[in-house]
Amino acid sequence: MGSVLNKIRNVLNTKNGFFVLLMVCFWIKTYWAYQTKFNLGVTGGVQEAILILNPLPMGLLLFGIALYFRGKKSYWIMMIIDLVASLWLFANMLYYREFSDFLSLGIIKSSGSVSNNLGLSIMEIIQPSDFLVFLDVIVIAALLIFKVLKIDKRKTNFKIAGIVTLLAVVLFAVDFSASEKNRSQLLTRTFDNNYIVKYLGINFYAGYNAYQTYKESSTRANASSNDLKSVLAYLKKNRATSNVSYFGKAKGKNVFIFHLESFQQFLINYKVDGKEVTPNINKFYSDSNTLSFDNFFNQVGQGKTSDAETMLENSLFGLPSGSVMTQYGTSNTFQALPAILDQRGYTTAAFHGDVGSFWNRDNTYKSWGYKYFFDDDYYKQKTDYSVGYGLKDKIFLKQAANYIQQLPQPFYAKLITVTNHYPYELDKQNQSIPKTTTGDKTVDGYVQTAHYLDQAFGEFISYLKKTGLYNNSMIVVYGDHYGISNNHKKAIAQLLGKKSVTSYDLAMFQKVPFMIHMNGLKGGINHTYGGEIDVMPTLEDLLGINSSNMIQLGNDLLSKDRNQTVAFRDGDFVSPTYTKVGSKVYDSSGNLIKTLTSEQKEQVDTMQSHTDKVLSLSDKIITGDLLRFYTPSGFKKVNKSQYSYKYSDGIKNLKEDQKKKTSLIEENGGKSTADLFKTDAPELK
């Protein structure tokens, strides 16, 4: 026995042995924290394996630095790295408990507000077991101080140091490729900090975040108010005038933004086996009080839903890569629609059945001026309540109604559905329409989840009708982006009843619904060409908000003198006359124009330069954070620190808000309208 202990001690008295000891402790405690302190949503064997592996590469790389040094210095380096890594873990544990998200340098740097909030309650949220992350550091330091372990003073073995570094790189490559396979575009799209930690580890996340923040803040630092000149000059020349016959028609009304996940225009009136896929949405689409746009395109890039949200509520584009919300949502200045309405007496609220950290909504919505964000913490959860990214739409909307009725009116409420999301899976009990039969597995379930979404929409609309909200609200419904990507050309052709599809067809396939319903509104199908970038000016027009001094790159869809060139994020465009995809130009009937006449070329060039211009201006505004230099008259800069989306705070605020006596529930004599929400969701039976 004694000799075994001695042997162990001898090993630990070598630098390499000591290194292994630290590494193992670091590995175990990081994994322990993953499992007990965070909620990373690990599902399946591959993700489990990745989670076990992921502390190793960065650990080897960091601790391995010490192996290039000799004697005491090397031990110091290891201990300091261990301490810093432990502090980082510790800080994240606390932050996560409060915000269900990981710390980012942007948060630490920019919003003293958030850290203040944390500072106040730090004593309340700390748990004794949190300190366990320091246990190994303390014990090992003591072993060194009391000379139980001796310092190995032998010469540095660069070969071993090199091998450890190499091993770190190889393991990282393994981790990264397994992760990409499991969840592609992890770093280019950066959906959620939780994902980066789950796949690549909390220390990789730290480095990655630091690098991003550095890159972003240097562009920001180099920007000045001078850069705004080109933006303002462009707007002065290109702003469309609002339409007098619509201006202010929805003034003072409640506003609903109903987000149809991955919902494409082709689904409208689409049938499978003679059965309408989306009967409720179809009815809404052709209602005489609904303004429906049939040449409305999604314009998202990699940021998908988040790009759609950015365009809809800011009239600014997403980025060429990544997402405005994740990269700039926390730190930039915005003049978003919720903030504008908040300053006009509206109650603003976003609803979504996924974790608040996805797309960095939990931080971005504060910058956009949302008072409430009802994320998944606000809804009752059971194992069969969720599929894919979050709560099933019917269950989500039923529970959302409970909060909607508590919002003081007028309110602005955005509801983001999620069941109709790739890979379009739905449990048997919720399937009520046959799949399509293209033979493409990722495509054929699409109509089924779309049908489910349509039923959920129908249930929600009936609730609005029963409560009277239908009559005093402007209900905006839109599809955020394509559901079937261009990788499925064969299946798309089959769905559209064509032999094959051209690039033109695929461009047209990017149409999504955009509908505005309001009692008394002169409805009908409007054929103007537009896209998500144009929503905000359109809504401002209807709400009677003069946006002529705002920095918004879209134009009012109701305006008579608008530019109808619709820019796609990749620089292609569509318009009533020409559609450009890559180097190909098509005419309005979808025929490829092989050689352009000089007149045609001039027209196409004008459209191209318009497209390039709006995209580059938008990038300049976002990456330079230019709105910080410009506050439109009548607009107050958003103070993020006044918002908290923590469940207990949200509930407290709702209670406080009832004093205004203008919520639906107050109007109903304090009686809940929850019973009026009828759903056939089998899970709730």
- Where does this chain touch ligand GP9 (CB under 6 A) — which range of 87-95, 416-424, 580-588, 645-653? 416-424
Q: Look up 449 and say whether it is catalytic.
A: no
CB of 391 to ligand GP9, least distance (A): 11
Per CB under 6 A, contacts with ligand GP9 among 380-399 are 389
Across 234-295, where does the E strand assignment appear?
A: 254-260, 271-272, 275-276, 290-293
Site string for ligand GP9, 419-438 (x = CB under 6 A): --x-----------------
Residue number, 323 or 575, with CB nearest to ligand GP9: 323
Q: Which one of 189-197, 277-285, 474-482, 551-559 is the stretch in contact with Mn ion (CB under 5 A)?
A: 474-482
Q: What residues pair up with 525 in beta bridges, in sequence order?
A: 292
Q: Which of 440, 480, 532, 572 binds Mn ion (CB under 5 A)?
A: 480
Rounded to 5°, angle at Cα 529 from 333 and 229: 35
196, 418, 447, 518: which one contacts ligand GP9 (CB under 6 A)? Answer: 418
Residue 536 carries which DSSP code?
H
Q: Does the protein bind ligand GP9 through residue 358 (CB under 6 A)?
A: yes
- For residue 475, list its beta bridge partners: 256, 517
Min dist CB 188 to ligand GP9, Å, is 13
532 binds Mn ion (CB under 5 A): no
DSSP 8-state class, residue 243 = -
Single residue of 239, 249, 253, 304 touching ligand GP9 by CB under 6 A: 304
- Please, which residue, 206 or 418, has the CB nearer to ligand GP9? 418
Query: What, of Mn ion, ligand GP9, none, does residue 354 touch, CB below 5 to 8 Å by kind?
Result: ligand GP9
CB-wise, 480 or 541, nearer to ligand GP9? 480
CA distance 189 to 302: 6
Separation of CA 203 from chain center: 23
Residue 23: CB minimum distance to ligand GP9, A:
36
Q: Is 306 in the site for Mn ion (CB under 5 A)?
A: no
Chain residue whose CB lies nearest ligand GP9: 304
Minimum CB separation from Mn ion for residue 21, in Å? 47
Exactly one of 100, 111, 305, 663 binds Mn ion (CB under 5 A); that residue is 305
In Å, how far are 304, 546, 547, 549, 551 from 634, measured between CA atoms?
A: 32, 10, 11, 10, 13
Decide which of Mn ion, ligand GP9, none touches 358; Cβ closer than 5 to 8 Å per partner kind. ligand GP9
Min. distance of Cβ 416 from ligand GP9 in angstroms? 6
Region binding Mn ion by CB under 5 A among candidate stretches 128-136, 144-152, 301-309, 541-549: 301-309
Q: How far is the CB of 421 from ligand GP9 (least distance, A)?
A: 6
Residue 535 tokens read as: 């929503």
Q: Which stretch binds Mn ion (CB under 5 A): 8-16, 479-487, 570-578, 590-598?
A: 479-487
Q: Which residue out of 290, 305, 565, 579 is catalytically annotated?
A: 305
Length of the chain: 685
Q: Is 148 helix (H, G, I), strand (E, B) or coil?
A: coil
What residues contact 42, with CB distance under 8 A and at least 6 apart? 48, 51, 198
Candidate ranges 328-336, 414-422, 456-464, 564-572; the one touching ligand GP9 (CB under 6 A): 414-422
Nearest-approach distance from CB 257 to ligand GP9, in angstroms = 14
Residue selected from 92, 212, 305, 367 as contacting ligand GP9 according to rule CB under 6 A:
305
Contact pattern for ligand GP9 over residues 489 through 508, marking x by CB under 6 A: --------------------
d(CA 554, CA 533): 5
DSSP state of 530: E
- Please give the full DSSP string across 61-123, using - where no structure is assigned: HHHHHGGGS-HHHHHHHHHHHHHHHHHHHHHHHHHHHHHSS---HHHHHH-HHHHHHHHHHHH
- Checking phi first, is residue 478 left (phi over 0); if not, alpha (psi -120 to 50) or beta? beta
Stretch 312-341 residues interacting with Mn ion (CB under 5 A): none
Tokens of 324: 């405005």
Q: CA-CA distance, 221 to 279, in Å (whole number)? A: 52
Q: Which of 343/487 has CB closer to ligand GP9?
A: 487
Q: Output 346 or 460, the one with its CB closest to ligand GP9.
A: 460
For residue 466, CA distances in Å to 254, 270, 408, 463 come to 16, 28, 18, 5
Return the number of the residue (371 or 414) whose C-beta is nearest ligand GP9.
414
Q: Could you say which residues in the range 126-145 bind Mn ion, by CB under 5 A?
A: none
Cβ 364 to ligand GP9, closest distance in Å? 12
Distance CA 517, CA 284 (A): 8
Q: Report how far residue 274's alpha carbon sits from residue 447's, in angstroms, rounded to the nearest whole number.
A: 13
Dist CA 279 CA 299 (whole Å): 26
**Sign of the dihedral through C-alpha 317, 352, 42, 57:** positive
Name the site residues for ligand GP9 (rule: CB under 6 A).
304-305, 354, 358, 389, 416, 418, 421
Judged by the rule CB under 5 A, the positions of this chain that interact with Mn ion are 304-305, 480
Catalytic residues: 305
